[in-house]
Amino acid sequence: MIFTPLTLPNGQVLPNRIAKAAMEENMAAPNRSPSQQMLALYHRWSLGGTGLLITGNVMVDGRYMTGPGNVVLENDEHLDVFQQWASKAKSAGNAVWMQISHPGRQTPSNITQQGIAPSAVDLDLGKYSKMFAPTRAMEVAEIEEVIERFVTTAVLAEKSGFDGVEVHAAHGYLISQFLSPLVNKRTDQWGGSIENRARLLLCIIDRIREKVRSDFAVAVKLNSADFQRGGFEPKDAKAVVSMLEARNVDMVELSGGSYEAPAMQGSARDDRTLAREAYFVEFAKDIANGTPLPIMTTGGISRRPVAENVLEQGIDMVGIATGLALVPELPKLWQQNKDTSTSQPQASLKPIAWENKTLAVLARMAQVRQSMQRHSVSTKVRPQQPYWLAIVKDQWLSQRSVKQYKSWRAKH
């Protein structure tokens, strides 16, 4: 079943049920376009047999970034490079979608002095809170501007040759902040009821659909839950999916969590216990059984038996992130019945038994990013670096990226 094609509502056919879920590559060129390393990495993933590649965050607004190494697509200044990216990424007959995003309050303080959100609710990460800019509430005119920025980036993605876009409404980024009652305290039409809190997402989807071809995929990444008490709940996710059914959405990817409760890394802040593998499959199964929309789930999947079990639950696509960062040819190895859980290279990371959970998440993300960077320049299998070394190297690379970003920002 895993290598059976999937036909989407718009007629687009994905050659198999494996998707590379979005990961933040931090590999932008100094001008914020995708670097040649990035193009090489996506070409390798394409040749590796993945049916759908979803890019890491592409920022709709260069003033607000999830990290200094992000790609930004605001205008057609470097459209030729984006066209090269799309061409390389689908050279083996797979599809490629651009994930488009705005971080809102999850903006690092070393690159932006102030983040924006539906309400002035700062991130609460204890002693690590200072890593993120203080937050102010958005004006209504700014909300309208954000909608148009998402539309502009989607249209430019289509012009570049991408097969679709995925609107990032999960993981605590701006749209997710509007959906969450913990962050959205507004009393106007953008806050309050789930219908009002979903308004930003629905307006973005509607306006993108007005501007792109009918065969251009428009997907949504949505939290199954925030995994914080009083936050976005599974019942809210069901309500939003129901709203998306009437809007010609081609797929909903279900994930979960935010920077405060990184469930996408297997860590919840409320009382719920996440599975060791396929973190969100039970939530996805529940939603998939109640909607005609294709459903994809991501989180902790790195072994073929787990992926097949997910599909057997009635879910349409399995999203794999870390596994493909570590082993870009994972689907081809699965087709050859090779077990990557016991061989080298392995498609999963060793557990981190650190008491400081925030630092453990940062170390894990550093490992994944550096694995992608290595795979962009070499096919040689290398052992995983120690976590402490990955963090040190990540900090050094980040400081270099900050300088490049500030130089670019000064010119814009």
Residue 271 is predicted with a pLDDT of 43
Confidence (pLDDT) at 341 = 58
pLDDT for position 270: 41
Cα–Cα distance measured from residue 117 to residue 114, given in angstroms and rounded to the nearest whole number: 10
167-188 mean pLDDT: 96
State the virtual CA torsion across 290, 215, 13, 286 in degrees, nearest 10. -10
Q: What is the mean pLDDT of residues 217-233?
A: 87
Name residues whose C-beta falls within 8 Å of residue 10's C-beta, 6 or more positions apart in sequence.
214, 215, 216, 217, 248, 250
- Sorting pLDDT into bands at 50, 70 and 90, what band is 17? very high
- Domain borders along the chain are 6-411
Spatial distance between the Cα atoms of 288 and 210, rounded to a whole number of angstroms: 27
Confidence of residue 64 (pLDDT cuts 50, 70, 90): very high
Express each pLDDT in 364-382 by its tens digit: 788 788 888 888 887 776 6
Round to whole Å and give the CA distance between 389 and 150. 37
- The pTM (predicted TM-score) of the whole model is 0.92
CATH 3.20.20.70 describes domain 6-411: yes
Asked if residue 174 has pLDDT above 70, the reply is yes
Q: 160: helix, coil or strand?
A: helix
CA–centroid distance for 100 within its chain: 8
pLDDT above 90 for 331: yes
Quickly state the pLDDT bin for 209 (edges 50, 70, 90). very high
Q: What integer pLDDT is reported at residue 356 of this predicted model?
A: 75
**In this predicted model, which residue has the larger pLDDT, 119 or 371?**
119
Query: What is the band of 269 on the pLDDT scale with cuts at 50, 70, 90?
Result: very low
Strands (E), 145-237: 164-169, 217-223
Per-residue pLDDT for 311 more than 90? Answer: yes
Q: Is the peptide bond before 34 cis (omega within 30 degrees of 0)?
A: no
Pick the range with the lowest mean pLDDT from 121-130, 257-266, 284-293, 388-397. Answer: 257-266
What are 89-109's pLDDT values in tens digits?
999 999 999 999 999 999 999
Q: Which helix (DSSP H) or strand (DSSP E) does residue 196 occupy?
A: helix 194-197
| Helix/strand/coil for 68 | coil
**Virtual CA dihedral for 122, 72, 151, 240, nearest 10 degrees?**
-40
- How high is the pLDDT of residue 170? 94
